[in-house]
């Protein structure tokens, strides 16, 4: 069930996000604001993370996932309306609500870990992440056909993908509501027993914050997920704009983003296996190396579309390593009762950081260029590398 919903959820998110920056540039009339559309999506994902975590903490995974997909469908409709009337502020509101679809996809990885044994937790998380591959890779490539389907309806072609996204999110919500039974989080608590499940106070958001403060490994996990996601979102969100500067059309942009998304999801089972076999810290270190190489390739690509594509593929691969390794380490490092709250805090942290990065990305590209954006993205990796080395050394 989680795998099926991830395929559809990934399709819905990828269809819309592929042309979000281009749509924003068309409506606003300036490149400097183009990065605000994907950034609004990230901000919406962040803002919804804690309310969804609170709902899941009290009532289980199913209500939270259903609500997230419904809000994502509503946001898609608002984006279409904004494109029709040419309202940039309304576009940002719609993109923020659209981010709920990403919230659902992110929370589903933790649902997979609810009932997994510790030695298989990385693979459980990565399997659900991998399931997103089909929809996420297909999404950017159907963006162009989706645009053509609305050509006679008075809707701009760049907004057509959001019409499709709304329908996909609605189908996902129905599937989760009907088929995700029994609820994995509630089942895990029942199997854990009273000693592990804890009181309602032990499952509160405040208890989640306390659990993170008391665990250096949990803090490292939060930084790993946040930095990997911020570097990825910042660079990826402005790549379509950089490609258009060098003559790329919608179809080529779709192919490049598809390759990037394949790197994000298709190899996640490998990252999960490595996380379980070699350890979470090793995979986090791999994430740092891959993201740094990606920034080097993309930042020095210039008019070479092939080099940009290679950089974006490695960017996705590094994100996968950081997300899977960091998520597994986070789940390992806190008590069962506090996990849902801590996982919501993780998504809040990573998407807030990425939101700030997305805003900065548009300004950096407008004033310094795409190469400088990649240089800044690489610099973000230095604190994570230092923390990982420190944790590995202290453990040794």
Token digits for 219? 């803090």
Is 72 within 8 Å of 52 (Cβ atoms)? no
| Of 284, 334, 282, nearest in space to 118 by CA | 334
Q: Is the pLDDT of residue 219 over 90?
A: yes
Assign residue 332 the CATH number of its domain.
1.20.1250.20
51 located within any domain: yes
Angle at 69 between CA 66 and CA 71, to 5 degrees: 110
| Domain limits for position 166 | 2-390
Sign of CA dihedral 59, 61, 66, 69: positive
Token digits for 168? 């996909």
Is 69 within 8 Å of 10 (Cβ atoms)? no
* CA distances from residue 112 to 118, 263, 308, 320 in whole angstroms, order as listed: 12, 21, 33, 16
pLDDT for the residue numbered 20 = 81
340 located within any domain: yes
Is 39 within 8 Å of 359 (Cβ atoms)? yes
Is 52 within 8 Å of 335 (Cβ atoms)? no
pLDDT for the residue numbered 192 = 67
Q: Which residues, other chains included, contact 382 with Cβ-Cβ below 8 Å and sequence gap of 6+?
A: none
pLDDT for the residue numbered 373 = 95
Task: Quickly count: other Cβ atoms within 10 Å of residue 157's Cβ.
Answer: 19
pLDDT for the residue numbered 196 = 53
Question: Could you report the per-residue pLDDT of 380-396, keeping only the tens digit for each?
Answer: 999 999 999 988 887 54
- The upper half-sphere exposure of residue 87, i.e. CA atoms within 13 Å in the direction of its Cβ, equals 14
Q: Is the pLDDT of residue 151 over 70?
A: yes
321 located within any domain: yes
Is 301 within 8 Å of 307 (Cβ atoms)? yes
Q: Is the omega angle on the peptide bond into residue 182 within 30 degrees of 0, that is, cis? A: yes
User: Cα–Cα distance between 25 and 118 in angstroms, integer?
Assistant: 46
Q: Which tops the pLDDT comparison, 197 or 358?
A: 358
Question: Could you report the per-residue pLDDT of 95-127, keeping only the tens digit for each?
Answer: 999 999 888 887 887 787 787 777 888 888 888
Is 100 within 8 Å of 72 (Cβ atoms)? yes
Q: At what angle do helices 121-149 and 250-265 cross, to 10 degrees?
A: 170
* CA distances from residue 260 to 43, 70, 233, 319, 334 in whole angstroms, order as listed: 21, 27, 11, 10, 32
pLDDT for the residue numbered 170 = 94
| Of 25, 83, 101, 92, nearest in space to 253 by CA | 25
Confidence of residue 307 (pLDDT cuts 50, 70, 90): very high
User: Cα–Cα distance between 77 and 56 in angstroms, integer?
Assistant: 26
| Of 169, 203, 207, nearest in space to 186 by CA | 203
Is 132 within 8 Å of 49 (Cβ atoms)? no
User: Cα–Cα distance between 167 and 361 in angstroms, integer?
Assistant: 30
Q: Is the pLDDT of residue 267 over 80?
A: yes
319 located within any domain: yes
| Of 209, 243, 255, 252, nearest in space to 349 by CA | 209
Within its chain, how far is the Cα of 267 from the centroid? 15
Question: Could you report the per-residue pLDDT of 132-146, keeping only the tens digit for each?
Answer: 777 766 777 777 787
pLDDT more than 70, % of the chain = 95
Mean pLDDT score, 152-172: 88
Q: Which tops the pLDDT comparison, 19 or 288?
A: 288
User: Cα–Cα distance between 113 and 365 in angstroms, integer?
Assistant: 38
**Number of structural domains found in the chain:** 1
Q: Is the pLDDT of residue 277 over 90?
A: yes
396 located within any domain: no
Q: What is the mean pLDDT of the chain?
A: 85
| Of 140, 130, 119, 124, nearest in space to 184 by CA | 124
């Amino acid at each position: 069930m989680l795998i099926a919903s991830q395929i559809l959820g990934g399709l819905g998110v990828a269809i819309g996000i592929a042309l979000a920056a281009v749509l924003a540039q068309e409506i606003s009339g300036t490149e400097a604001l183009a990065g605000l559309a994907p950034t609004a999506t990230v901000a919406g994902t962040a803002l919804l993370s804690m309310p969804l975590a609170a709902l899941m903490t009290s009532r289980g995974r199913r209500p939270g996932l259903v609500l997230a997909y419904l809000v994502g469908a509503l946001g898609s409709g608002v984006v279409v309306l904004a494109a029709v009337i040419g309202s940039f502020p309304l576009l940002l509101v719609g993109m923020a609500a659209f981010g709920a679809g990403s919230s659902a996809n992110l929370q589903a990885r933790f649902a997979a870990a609810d009932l997994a044994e510790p030695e298989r937790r990385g693979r459980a998380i990565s399997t659900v992440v991998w399931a997103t591959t089909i929809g996420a890779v297909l999404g950017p490539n159907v963006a162009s056909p989706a645009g053509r389907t609305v050509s006679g309806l008075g809707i701009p072609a760049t907004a057509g993908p959001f019409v499709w996204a709304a329908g996909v999110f609605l189908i996902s919500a129905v599937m989760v509501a009907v088929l995700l039974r029994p609820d994995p989080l509630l089942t895990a608590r029942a199997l854990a027993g009273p000693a592990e499940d804890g009181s309602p106070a032990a499952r509160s958001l405040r208890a989640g914050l306390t659990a993170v403060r008391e665990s250096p490994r949990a803090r490292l996990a939060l930084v790993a997920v946040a930095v990997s996601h911020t570097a990825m979102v910042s660079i990826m969100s402005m790549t379509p704009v950089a490609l258009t500067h060098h003559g790329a059309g919608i179809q080529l942009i779709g192919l490049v983003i598809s390759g990037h998304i394949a790197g994000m999801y298709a190899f996640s089972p490998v990252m999960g296996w490595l996380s379980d076999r070699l350890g979470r810290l090793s995979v986090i270190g791999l994430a740092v190396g891959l993201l740094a190489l990606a920034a080097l390739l993309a930042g020095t690509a210039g008019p070479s579309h092939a080099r940009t594509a290679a950089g974006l593929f490695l960017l996705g691969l590094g994100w996968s390593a950081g997300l899977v390794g960091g998520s597994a380490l986070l789940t390992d490092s806190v008590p069962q009762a506090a996990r849902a709250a801590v996982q919501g805090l993780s998504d809040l942290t990573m998407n807030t950081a990425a939101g700030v990065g997305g805003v900065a990305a548009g300004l950096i590209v407008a004033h310094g260029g795409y190469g400088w954006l990649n240089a800044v993205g690489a610099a973000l990796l230095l604190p994570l590398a230092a923390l990982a080395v420190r944790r590995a050394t202290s453990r040794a």
